[in-house]
Structure 1
């Protein structure tokens, strides 16, 4: 889901506002999660079914650590954990633009439902 480029109604403006607020929270969470488990940032070279298990396991462990009140991993400005997107696209012959038009159409319809159902005052 993406924000609307030109929100026209109060509901669309509210949707955009909440989209931005939620996205900031999620991006911070992903940053903490990747610092706690650097393998998530560096990439997993496993079979897809095993990758999903590792991601779920790290999410469970992350939640356990948070429930126990452990500290968040510190931010080290010298530590760079980029996701290897170029390598993944080249290695897997994945075109990041495949079906972009279909995804945008699907997202637009889903976004319209959200705005109409949840952001109308």
Structure 2
């Protein structure tokens, strides 16, 4: 099993992609590695997704933040957030974060050596 984290990927994507390639037995040369790093960057994937989504397929109108389907307004779905480490801090309240930490510590008893950078 290969273990990696989003935080590791953000810190050094080239190192993590090389690790994945080596793990699956498909080592990459430098040019290939650079191409994969570029193609899997958050910005490139976000741009590709925005081009791939065809609002006219499901929705009659597409306005900023809202789509309409047969007269019914539907909030626009955002596939990617910001692609940053620690974005959860802008979503969860302090109380929610503390509740998560409590449950996490209880559930991870016996696995204290498994650490994450939240």
Which one has the bigger helix percentage?
1
| Common fold by TM > 0.5 | no
Q: TM (normalized to structure 2)? A: 0.30
Which one has the bigger strand percentage?
2
Q: TM (normalized to structure 1)? A: 0.30
Indicate the structure whose relative CO is greater, using CA pairs within 8 Å and at least 6 residues apart.
1
Larger Cα Rg: Structure 1 or Structure 2?
2
